[in-house]
Structure 1
Amino acid sequence: MKLHTAVTLLFTAVSTQLSASPLDESKIQFLGPIAINSTIKPADTAHRDAIIDNLLPTLQKNTNQIMLFNQQSKWQPLNKISKLTIPGLQALKFNFTTERFVSGKLKLEGIEKAKVFLNGEAVSGISEIQLNVAKGDHQVLVVAEQVNDWNKVDISFEGKADHDSITLTDKQTKALSAKQLFDAPTVSAISLSPNGEYYITTMRRYNDEKGNSAITETTLYNEDGEALYHFDGMNAANFAWRDDSEKLTYLSDNKAYIFDLKTTKRTQVASQLNGANSITFFDENTLIFEWTNSGKEEGKLTKHYQGLEDRWSYARTQSQIFLLDITSGLLNPVTVGTQSHQLADFDVKANTILATRHQQDYAQPPHMLTELIEIDLSNYQQKVIGQYRTFNNAQYTKEGIYVTAGPDFANGAGRNLPEGMLANNYDGQLYLMDRSGQNVKALSKNFDPAISNFTVLNNGDVVLKATDEDRQQLFLFDESKNKFKRINTGLDVVEKYAVSDERHAQVLFTGTTVSTPQQLKTIHVSDNRSKTLWDSKGIAYQGAEIANLEEFNFTNKEGVEIKGRVYLPHDLDKSKKYPALVYYYGGTSPVTRGFSGRYPFNLWAAKGYVVYVLQPTGATGFGQKFSAEHVNAWGEHTANDIIMGTKEFVKAYPFVDDKRLGNLGASYGGFMTMLLTTKTNLFSASISHAGISNITSYWGQGWWGYLYSGEASKGSFPWNNPTLYSQHSPVFNANKVTTPLLLIHGDADTNVPPGESHNMYTALKILGQDVELVEYKGADHQIFARDKRFHWWDTMLAYFDKHLKNEPQWWQHLYGK
């Protein structure tokens, strides 16, 4: 058999034509026959695709041999095969690397019938297959059904241009890929029994076959990790436990069920519960839940607005609290009326319920008012505990009530700011007050992390989740000592958590570190030692090349340390110059250290970029003074931090090319990107996703614009502070822009309407500037759907490749010349 010796695919020009270059057969693996002694081909049956597709995951594995009907088959180099014909199926597999976007044709000569896969996805063609691949590691798999003479098989690749080359490789590691990050199995929801002996998880994953539809599996386990029961079509977050941990309740198909853990039998206790949610045990014989009813429009021709909230599609939906008697099925309303009521907590011994409702009141920022009420179930009398401009959650404890809210809660009880500074009420604080709503005690005034949610333990202590700089951490508040203690999770970002409290306080939680994928863990609060129950690294990330991470902080002009981190490409060569991407949010939250996410920093590093992520002034998690700088600033401090931080970053990393810097952000970060293009020429290309170009139009038209502006522009309005609303709006300074700018928006965005990008696009087009606008059809403020997510990630990287690497081909492939 003819042997090919080229390890790297090179392209030979014949006059002005490119010729196909043969692949090195020593790096192409062969497996066959796959069906032992079988002369029946899949194509001879009605199930050809199913036969091959079911075998695909096994063939893709990075192993030397596989078991087929109890017989071992071994992969071997193609150049060792000398047979004329081989019965049954055969498979060819090779891995290749590209250093940039590559377009060309893979040519398979001598294979009459086959199915070809690129990175696990079927591609059309047999003799010629068009390949369009970005920088990274890739795999081609060919399942051959008919080869008349293996001596005549020839595999080659012809690039579209002289830079379109691929390199065959047999390395054991693989560059991180977009599909890997999105499709990998994750625990999306959890539930833990009160005694800590059982837990439920919902596992979610994606694949090519299901596309945008997630594959989910919800399973009940004992504490040893033994699977006891599978719940079809359910989510772990929708289960609630009875206090004795022997029974569960949940809603499914508008029916309420009780599930017995000992018998694994379920019993229907009510039906016709369309709109019911958040069901849980009130006591052994009673369930409590919220029941919603959609509001009605006046008619087809007009909508008469009933207030600012009416811009929300769900504003007229009514939610009330109900009790359900398990034995009889009797449904008893606890609340009624024109106002929605949300269940906050209940106390069985006191026979009372805590609930919240929102008053329509625009008198003060942020132009909403939350009422906390207590309902006595002995007579259904309601008592208003308090009315608050800032309010998040409330739970009973002994004789008091824990509350999370901003620093201004209870007339500023939680404020820890210099005189004259306005608080940022997105900076969550913990309070304790008596059941009358009086005697409020601010517990976290000197605790810098921003508290988001919490669970009260039987002894009055609190397990809480908080933003600690750029980490999401769990803490224990010890009531007796009035102290906060970090729970040693071993993770940078805790995503979900659930608490048990019957024997010892135990926490079940999921999360990641900045450089390691998701884990499911448990920890006993008393000894602060964690145990890993499940780890996605060994399942989806074996051999993955992960970026190296370095911390990079600097001190800004005000003498404040600005935290940041830098992702370095896996194969970094410090003798070369690299393009870099600078990412920020700039709003009131830091960019957390999650392993993946909507903006995948590890993936960007795998594509050859040094990535700098910084936490500019105004974010929560760094103390109240730091977050309060966000109020009435609209980018003033943030822009200075990003510009200075980028300059310091370039100085500290000499292998970063200061002529090839890109910057991007989303939402408030998209606003920051637009604003930066009016303030600096530091960047060579910029991307704004769902950004705000005109603060006034966002304030008046975004679904939450007036609420967010109630904090970000507290006390400032277009009529009393027109300078803030105009001169801080990028579109009012569009004539200063010289940086190429890509605007991305979902055309169904309700948070930041797509008109915000249209404003800037119109201005820059009229000014003759380099601007692009890409809208994703049907997408809201975030890009969730799998197909859109991959295309969106490709769009951003292709745009930067074009401007920072002088490689426009990927962008041209997506959007033409």
Structure 2
Amino acid sequence: MKTTRKSLWALTFSAALCASLSANADTIEVQKLKHVGPFPVSTPWMADSVNVKGEKFAMEGVLDSPLSFNLLNNGKEVAASQLLADNAKQNALHLASFTVYNTSRTKATVEVKGLKQYRLFVDGEQVKVKGDKAETVLLPSTHTVVIKYLTSSDSSSDKTADKDAAQDFKVSVTAADGKQLSVGEASANTKRTLNIYDAICMPNYSSVALSPNGKFMIVCKTWVDRQGKKHSINELRNSQTSKVVASFEENVRWMPRTNKMYFTEKAGDNAIAGEGKADGAMQLITINPLNMEREVMAANIPEGWFLFTPDEKSLIYTLYEEGRKKDPQVYDVKEPDDRQPGWRTRSYLAKYDLASGILQPLTFGYHNVYLNDISADSRYLLIGKSEERLTKRPTTLNSLYRLDLNDMSVEALVEKGEFLNSAQFSPDGKSILVTGSPEAFDGIGKNVEEGQIPSMVDTQLYLMNLADKKVRPMTKNFNPNVQSVDWSKADGNIYFTAEDKDCMHLFQLNPKSGKFTLLKTPEENIKSFSIAAAAPEMAFSGQSASNADRLYKMSTKAQKSLLVDDLSARLLKDIELGECKAWNFVNSRGDTLCCRYYLPPHFDASKKYPMVVNYYGGCSPTTRMFQSRYPHHVYAAMGYVVLVVNPSGATGFGQKFSARHVDTAGEGVAEDIISSTQAFCDEHSFVNRKKIGCIGASYGGFMTQYLQTKTDLFAAAISHAGISDHTSYWGEGYWGYSYSEVSMANEYPWTNKHLFVDQSPLYNADKIHTPLLFVHGTADNNVPVGESIQLYTALKLLGRPTAMVLVDGQDHHIIDYEKRIKWQNTIFAWFAKWLQDDGSWWKEMYGEEKM
């Protein structure tokens, strides 16, 4: 049966664990259902005795007419024995429903007795009925069973028969193969468990933007529906009342000063009366949030990305010039990065004057030039220029310049700077805030132990005084890893998000005193924030390990969060989650590893549960996000304990900690994962030590492979897009050599055989005995699919238990909706086979044939 994607999960009659099947596949009789109806239907006037097909009229055909299952939201709970008692004497349609809960893939039979005319639906899709029975396959989740039935005025001629018919009505569910499931009664207080469709389709707030005066905010809400279609809408909210004022499909943004929104759209054929319309011309349209009036501000602007100057007189464009095209059949490669689409296209800056309509080029050349910031007085641009230097780490150099728009003079601030990322002006334009690695500015921000090389992705803040070019490191002794940064024009403070252990928190930095303040926010992961340009106001969105998105506002003076909208409360109101608890482990080097674990709903500490261990093991922490590629609560809902480990080497814990990722190629990190897993089992007797699985992706996929060369602790392992040979990845991946600047700093395949060969799982394949599944997108440009193919081939030749599943046309992330569902089910099926002793799901998907 095809798995449903229809949205029935909002129904409030979700599963309760009211009864369970024994290993002998006992039949559960449904005692209560939710009912709505009757919906009267009439016999049509018989213009003829038969239709054009020669068929006589049958009332049963009415069952195929549309009837929304959402009507069940207002249904009433009734005992099964009473379902037909009062409704069997009229021509009418009815809906009745109950729920079934299972933690493993289950083949189930639903039997309905006492009804002659009905249709049966599971999760919104019709199931074929043979006799009184219907067979279906239930993936781990809570499932809604709906019976759409027809009663007839001719079905009974006396009260006794009516009574007998009501008593004969029975609904039962039976699971095959000794599986366990539970039938939920239609109680308003019962809840269901989280499933993979929730994790993928749950709406979220992807961004938030405050108007300059802080009185309005634009919130971008995105989601994927159950048919896999992506949706995006921009909500305009009144910041004071928190109410939604309007919604826009257009990509509306705030103008920098006048508190109006703007967007662009293709210009019409008569964009400017009496003038020719340029190719690709766009209209710039403003919207007043007070009255929703729209006005065409400019009717014929170039197509492309731009920023307003703060005085709103000009647009600063980032435009692109395409280099020499390649012969599509035979072509040369100028640089390693020339394998990437678009590498020969270079960016430059131009100024569009809104009054005259003149587009003035601001930069020229063959290097990529980009805009960092515009000064508050609209006079200066902070420009960056990047260039390659392949012979020495870092292989990319970034220069910073200040361009005066008044006379087009340019001042060099940093020439060919190493380890620099981005920059922005201070509100007064007298200094710039630069982000970069600890090694930037000759390492004045480094804070590592002797002999350590800092992680290039452990981002620091530096403050440069433009008068004398002196640079001050701001975060040298600040452990969280800086992410998004904004310098407030309203109060002069710097606001930024940062990885703070396994959270993403909001911070305030006073640039004069150097004091950091952790802003008290209710969420563990801040996803987006915005500060008003002319008011001490902030808005932000976030989620935590056990809740979906929420939207907040905050006065930066009072620093008190106020809830604007709670998506999570609406999305999770009918869902029961297991507990998520923090658990730390001190490794052999004295590092405190920040871990957490998830328990299944209805957890029983006296039982033994299989466990799934998840990690990245690379340069970033596995944060406490609710929605992720590996939704931990979904695994827990399937009956697993889930342990998340953040081993040494991750950012967010300080430079010394993150430097442990550099030049180790898994050494130390593997020991962290193994030791913490063993210690967790020692402390928690509810884990079945013989049924522990592990999973990771990208560098985490490498860690999965590498772990199996070090231990037999795991009963099953999954590597998604993992690296099996550091040398082939270094040379073939789009970002192989550049990522190796982070992980293999100053080392190369010809200088360090230990890192590139001895630490590669491929050269240790004979040590692997754990059943290992490789999953990989065939179009992966980051970690080429050959990384999985070569170790899979090795294990097959060694006769070891392994499997490989390729996702056609997908890159490093599995994005396509249908393919992601199959990819995720593949992962679930592999773990079910090896951790729950249930190979039926895997067999159903991939069979047991050897050809």
After TM superposition, the score normalised by the length of structure 2 is 0.87
CA–CA distance in 1 between the matches of 2:504 and 2:23?
Answer: 54
Name which of 665, 677, 691 aligns with 1:646: 677
Residues 427-486 of structure 1, C-alpha deviation per residue, up to 9 Å, x if partnerless?
Answer: 010100023682110010000001012001124320011111111011000123211101
More deviation in 804-813 or 287-296? 287-296
Given residue 564 of structure 1, which amino acid in structure 2 is its aligned partner?
C
Is the alpha carbon distance of 1:366 and 1:133 closer, same or farther for their aligned partners in structure 2, counting shifts above 3 Å?
farther
- The alpha-carbon deviation at position 241 of structure 1 amounts to 2.1
Contact 1:488–1:528 (8 Å) recurs in 2: yes
The residue that corresponds to 1:70 in the other structure is none
- 1:266 and 2:282 aligned: no
* Paired position in structure 2 for 1:467: 499
Question: 2: CA distance between counterparts of 1:317 and 1:240?
Answer: 29
Corresponding residue for 1:573? 604
Identity between Structure 1 and Structure 2 (%): 31
Could you give the per-residue CA deviations for residues 479-521 of structure 1, whole angstroms, max 9, x where no partner exists? Answer: 23211101111110001111113121x2211111111221011
1:23 correspondence with 2:29: yes
The answer to whether the aligner puts 1:106 opposite 2:110 as a matched pair is yes
CA drift at 1:567:
1.0
CA contact (8 A) 1:32 1:90 kept: yes
Contact kept in structure 2, 1:189 and 1:235, CA below 8 Å: no
* TM alignment of 1:206-605, pairs within 5 A: 206-208=224-226, 211-223=227-239, 224-232=241-249, 234-235=250-251, 239-245=253-259, 247-253=260-266, 255-261=282-288, 262-264=290-292, 265-267=294-296, 269-271=298-300, 273-274=302-303, 276-295=304-323, 297-349=325-377, 351-386=379-414, 387-397=416-426, 398=428, 399-435=430-466, 438-458=469-489, 459-504=491-536, 506-605=537-636
Give the alignment of 1:680-719 within 5 angstroms.
680-719=711-750
CA contact (8 A) 2:211 2:217 kept: yes
Aligned to 1:728: 759
- d(CA) in 2 for partners of 1:517 and 1:214? 18
**Matching residue's letter, 2:380:** T
- For residues 20-43 of structure 1, what are the alpha-carbon distances to aligned partners after superposition, in whole Å with 9 as ceiling and x for unaligned? 95732x322322113x576689x9
Tell me if structure 1 keeps the 8 A contact 2:202–2:223.
Answer: yes
Query: Letter of the aligned partner of 1:23 in structure 2?
Result: E
Q: For residue 124 of structure 1, report the CA deviation from its aligned partner.
A: 5.4
Instruction: Give the distance between the partners of 1:675 and 1:614, measured in 2 at CA.
Output: 16
Contact residue 32 and residue 86 of structure 1 kept, 8 A:
no
| CA distance 1:294–1:108, change in 2 (3 Å) | farther
Deviates more, 1:405-414 or 1:297-306: 297-306
Task: Assess if the C-alpha contact under 8 Å between 2:431 and 2:463 holds in 1.
Answer: yes
Determine if contact 2:32/2:78 at 8 Å carries over to the other structure.
no
1:184 aligns with 2:202: yes
> Structure 2, unaligned stretches of length 5 or more?
1-16, 46-57, 156-164, 267-279
Query: How much does 1:108 deviate?
Result: 4.2
* DSSP 3-state at the match of 1:553: strand
The SS at the match of 1:425 is: coil
Which amino acid in structure 2 is aligned with residue 27 of structure 1?
Answer: K
The 1:46–1:27 alpha-carbon spacing in structure 2 relative to 1, beyond 3 Å, is: closer
Shift of 1:165: 5.3
What pairs with 1:72-151 in structure 2 (closer than 5 Å)?
A: 74-80=76-82, 81-82=84-85, 83-108=87-112, 116-121=120-125, 123=127, 129-144=134-149, 149=155, 151=166
What CA distance in whole angstroms lies between the structure 2 residues aligned with 1:39 and 1:401?
A: 80
Q: Deviations over 1:698-719 (max 9, x none)?
A: 1111111111101110110011
**2:80 touches 2:169 (CA, 8 Å); kept in 1?**
no
C-alpha spacing 1:286/1:656, structure 2 compared with 1 (3 Å): same
Contact 1:249 1:279 in 2 (8 A): no
Q: Kindly indicate whether the alpha-carbon contact (under 8 Å) linking 1:347 and 1:396 is maintained by their aligned counterparts in 2.
A: yes
Task: Give structure 1 stretches of 5+ with no counterpart.
Answer: 1-5, 67-73
**Secondary structure of the corresponding residue to residue 425 of structure 2:** strand
From the superposition, tell whether residues 730 and 439 of structure 1 become closer, same or farther in structure 2 (CA, over 3 Å): same
Match of 2:9? none
Which letter maps to 1:185?
Answer: P
In 2, Cα distance between the equivalents of 1:50 and 1:187? 37
Distance 1:375 1:696, change over 3 A: same
Bigger Cα displacement from structure 2, 166-175 vs 469-478:
166-175
1:375 Cα deviation after fit = 1.6
Aligned CA distance change for structure 1 residues 273 and 119 (closer, same or farther; 3 Å): farther
- After superposition, the CA RMSD in angstroms is 2.7
> How far off its partner does 1:806 sit?
0.7
Contact 1:570 1:605 in 2 (8 A): yes
Instruction: Report the count of equivalent residues.
Output: 783
Superposed displacement of residue 325, structure 1: 2.4
Please name the residue that 1:202 is paired with: 220
579 and 356 in structure 1: CA distance in 2 versus 1, 3 angstrom threshold: same
Amino acid at match of 1:747: T
| Counterparts in 2 of 1:631 and 1:455: CA distance versus 1, 3 Å | same
CA distance in 2, matches of 1:576, 1:424: 42
AA at the equivalent of 1:258: I
Shift of 1:214: 1.7
Q: What amino acid sits opposite 1:56 in the alignment?
A: F
Say whether the 8 Å CA contact 1:294–1:317 is kept in structure 2.
Answer: yes
8 Å contact from structure 2 (residues 310, 378) kept in 1: no
* 1:163-174 matches, cutoff 5 A: 163=179, 166-170=182-186, 172-174=190-192
Structure 2 contact 60–150 (Cα < 8 Å) conserved: no
Q: Which moved more, 1:534-543 or 1:652-661?
A: 534-543
Q: 1-side partners of 2:835 and 2:650: how far apart?
A: 29
Conserved? CA contact 2:100–2:181, under 8 Å: no
Contact 2:77 2:186 in 1 (8 A): no
Question: Any conservation in 1 of the 2:309–2:378 contact (CA below 8 Å)?
Answer: no
Distance 2:306 2:761 in 1: 43
**Which amino acid in structure 2 is aligned with residue 175 of structure 1?**
T
CA contact (8 A) 2:257 2:310 kept: no
Contact 2:90–2:151 (8 Å) recurs in 1: no
